[in-house]
Homo-oligomer: A and B are copies of this chain.
Amino acid sequence: MAEEQPKVEAAQEAGEQEQVIDPWSVSGGADGRIDYNKLLEQFGCSKLTDDLVARVEKLTGKPAHPFLKRGIFFAHRDLQEILDCYEKGIPFYLYTGRGPSSEALHLGHLVPFMFTKYLQDAFGVPLVIQLTDDEKSLWRGIDIDEARRLARENAKDIIACGFDVSKTFIFSDFEYVGGAFYRNIIRIQRCVTMNQVRGIFGFSMEDNIGKIAFPAVQAAPSFPDCFPHMFGTRKDIRCLIPCAIDQDPYFRMTRDVAPRIGHQKPALIESKFFPALQGESGKMSASDTNSAIFVNDTPAQIKDKINKYAFSGGGATVEEHRSKGANLAVDVPWKYLNFFMEDDAKLARIGEEYGSGRMLTGEIKKELITVLTDMVSRHQRARAQVTEEVVDAFMAVRPMHVV
């Protein structure tokens, strides 16, 4: 996978600038913001309705994840078919991933994994997690051994999200490409032309041939027979992919190819982007440590970054704030709380208080600092438990009795 939470490029010009979202860059429209409804239309995904969320709750007997209730995962393809399978007792599996381009993940990187962990628990299903170290070598020129090292380091942060080792297979492409997986890669590549990847991904004649071929590597894990140690040669097991919506082009391609090679189309459940501290039009980047909260930040760093850099929708002066209230649509602390504050009632109260101006920017930031410090320190404790042996256990190609 590419960055699950890609860079958000500031709008270059005012006026009619079109938003552009693909797996490698995200740039909003004229105001730097992303119009998600427009994206649904452009990509042809379906809106994740309240009815579907209610059905998920009913089928799993568990409350919906906040990401679902709050519209953070907001789009899908064929989710209802996955729910039909589940209802009938037909097995399905989850597939997600990450491009290991940096040592430390930021909070945005955790979003798909936190959600996938919820899905695994709620449905009790197997999960495959692809670490595209090959992609990062092809795109960023990262040395191959360094990409493999980053893949293992990132695996530790992923494992710290709490996945069930008996149902979860984590693999890096440099380790796992081959065999049944490689055969599916070739099957897919045979169905896709250079013209098509130019259309879907914007590849040009100057792009290296590894990039051009790579979409098949990300597509293939959508098919269960890539994992003989989990699913044997079964082709009847559906796949559900939780990911950020910028990954949709990969899976549009995959869904187009699937029936041509005798496979079922993967279903998707897709999220909005996690904003940079500087707001939706800022860039979240590992090289700019002030652009994001990282999972290895200290409490002091978290406090400092939020107080200094988190873009506020509050009034310019206390007086103005008290009279007009905060603009929640652009307020980063409010957005972050929407991702990570679990208590619905408290969140609603904060929204009301802050939106009306009764709560001040300093106060909502304090709430956020508490939430994130707690979350990050829990993550750090969990990650400290993830030894090399634990990584090996998740990444071992071993018989898994999951279906």
Bound CA–CA A215/B209 (angstroms) = 9
Contacts of A197 in B (CB 8 A): 209
Chain A residues numbered 195-221 whose CB sits less than 8 Å from any CB in chain B: 195, 197-198, 203-213, 215-216
From B137, B187, B191, B203, contact of A186 by CB (8 A):
B137
Q: Across the interface, do B194 and A205 meet the contact criterion of CB distance under 8 Å?
A: yes
Contacts of A198 in B (CB 8 A): 205
Q: Across the interface, do A183 and B193 meet the contact criterion of CB distance under 8 Å?
A: no
Q: Across the interface, do B144 and A189 meet the contact criterion of CB distance under 8 Å?
A: no
Closest to A134 in B: B186
Which of A104-112, A172-180, A336-344 binds B? Answer: A172-180
Residue among A177, A187, A207 with the highest chain B CB neighbour number at 10 A: A177
Bound CA–CA A193/B212 (angstroms) = 9
In this assembly, does A182 line the interface, its C-beta being within 8 Å of a C-beta of chain B? yes
Q: Across the interface, do A144 and B208 meet the contact criterion of CB distance under 8 Å?
A: no
Q: Across the interface, do A206 and B194 meet the contact criterion of CB distance under 8 Å?
A: yes
Contacts of A215 in B (CB 8 A): 209
Chain A residues numbered 340-398 whose CB sits less than 8 Å from any CB in chain B: none
Question: In the complex where A138-B189, A189-B138, A190-B137 touch, is A183 in contact with B144 (Cβ < 8 A)?
Answer: yes
Contacts of A206 in B (CB 8 A): 193-195
Which range holds the interface residue count of chain A? 35 or more
Closest to A185 in B: B210
Bound CA–CA A96/B131 (angstroms) = 33
Q: Across the interface, do B208 and A190 meet the contact criterion of CB distance under 8 Å?
A: yes
In this assembly, does A192 line the interface, its C-beta being within 8 Å of a C-beta of chain B? yes
In this assembly, does A15 line the interface, its C-beta being within 8 Å of a C-beta of chain B? no
In this assembly, does A141 line the interface, its C-beta being within 8 Å of a C-beta of chain B? yes
Contacts of A178 in B (CB 8 A): 176-179, 182
Bound CA–CA A399/B183 (angstroms) = 26
Closest to A215 in B: B209
Q: Across the interface, do A186 and B216 meet the contact criterion of CB distance under 8 Å?
A: no
From B137, B138, B174, B213, contact of A212 by CB (8 A):
B213
Closest to A261 in B: B144
Question: In the complex where A209-B197, A212-B212, A212-B213 touch, is A141 in contact with B190 (Cβ < 8 A)?
Answer: yes
Q: Across the interface, do A138 and B190 meet the contact criterion of CB distance under 8 Å?
A: yes
Closest to A211 in B: B189
Contacts of A179 in B (CB 8 A): 174-175, 178
Contacts of A186 in B (CB 8 A): 134, 137-138, 144, 174, 210
Contacts of A191 in B (CB 8 A): 208
Chain A residues numbered 83-126 whose CB sits less than 8 Å from any CB in chain B: none
Q: Across the interface, do A207 and B189 meet the contact criterion of CB distance under 8 Å?
A: no
Bound CA–CA A204/B198 (angstroms) = 12
Q: Across the interface, do A192 and B208 meet the contact criterion of CB distance under 8 Å?
A: yes
Contacts of A203 in B (CB 8 A): 194
Having A194-B212, A197-B209, one finds 11 other A-B pairs with CB under 8 Å, namely A134-B182, A137-B190, A174-B179, A174-B186, A177-B182, A189-B210, A189-B211, A190-B210, A193-B205, A195-B205, A213-B213
